[in-house]
Structure 1
Amino acid sequence: MSALIPRPRLRVAPGAVHVPGWLTLDEQRELVVACRAWAMGPVPIRHTRLPRGGVMSVRTVCIGWHWQPYRYTRTADDVNGARVAPFPDWMVELGRRALVAAYEDPAAGDGYTPDTALINFYDGDARLGMHQDKDERSDAPVVSLTIGDTCVFRFGNTENRNRPYTDLELASGDLFVFGGPSRFAYHAVPKVHPGTGDPATGLASGRLNITMRVTGLDDGSRGRAPRA
Structure 2
Amino acid sequence: MDTKRRALRAAFPLTIPVMTGYLVLGTAYGILLADKGYGAVWALLTSLLIFAGSMQFVSIGLLTAGFHPLYACAMTLMVNARHLFYGIAMLGRYRGIKKVKPYLIFGLTDETFSIVCTTDPPEGVDRGWFYFFVTLLDQLYWVAGSVLGGLVGGLLPFDTTGMDFALTALFVVIFAGQWQERRNRLPALIGVGGSVLCRMLFGADSFVLPAMACILLLVTLLQKPLAREELP
Larger gyration radius, structure 1 or structure 2: 2
Structure 1 or 2: more strand by fraction: 1
TM-score of the two chains, using structure 2 as the length reference: 0.27
Bigger relative contact order (CA 8 A; separation at least 6): 2
Higher helix share: 2
